[in-house]
Amino acid sequence: MLNTTYKLCHKLTILASSLLVTLACIATASANTIYTWVDSNGVTHYSQQPPSQTESTTSKTATNKLYSEDIEPKPIGTVAPLKPLPQNKQASELEKKAAAIHLADKQQAQQVCENAKHSLKVLTTHTKLNKKNNKTGEVMAMTEEQRQASIAEQNERIRLFCKT
């Protein structure tokens, strides 16, 4: 029984593989011809059908043939990114508080850093999270917006407290 099942699976695998190879060969062999020509008004046309006789006789220009496999897409990212504008380096209220905590108690700052890293790890590895409402004590599911806001908050805490 097991041997028969194995043979059947093997035959189906070979059949599927040969079908896949055949389809791949057909797909690569089916390149399209693209015709280009300029009409009497100076407009360049691109088409898979050659120009009609009326267009080709009135324009009196040669028709060029292109093949779709010869057309290369333009590289992505050819435009250089813009440099960010320099921002004023005035310390925000949070940065001032973080600096004060660093000066007063380095161990507390390290604990805040570790908690923020742990919270960020939980927020990024799980998408379905519950959060307890501090006012009512009710446990509610976090929305994606709340999760993203918490991720941003934890990243800010890491930036402020995880300085070495």
Full-model pTM: 0.43
Residue 110 falls within a domain, yes or no?
A: yes
pLDDT score recorded for residue 123: 92
Residues 102 and 153 in one domain: yes
Residues 103 and 56 in one domain: no
Residues 144 and 97 in one domain: yes
From CA 35, how far away is CA 64, in angstroms rounded?
Answer: 6
Residue 10 falls within a domain, yes or no?
A: no
pLDDT score recorded for residue 56: 45
Residue 126 falls within a domain, yes or no?
A: yes
Residue 84 falls within a domain, yes or no?
A: no
Contact residues for 132 (Cβ-Cβ < 8 A; gap 6+)? 138, 139, 140
Helix H or strand E encompassing 26: helix 2-29
Residue 131 falls within a domain, yes or no?
A: yes
By CB atoms closer than 10 A (0-12, 13-18, 19+), residue 39 is middle
Residue 44 falls within a domain, yes or no?
A: yes
Residues 97 and 39 in one domain: no
Residues 52 and 103 in one domain: no
Mean pLDDT by 10 residues, the chain (164 residues): 70 74 61 76 81 53 64 67 66 78 85 92 90 87 91 91 77
Residue 14 falls within a domain, yes or no?
A: no
Q: How many domains does the chain have?
A: 2
* Domain boundaries, position 143: 93-161
CA distances from 119 to 67, 98, 112, 148, 155 (A): 55, 18, 10, 12, 10
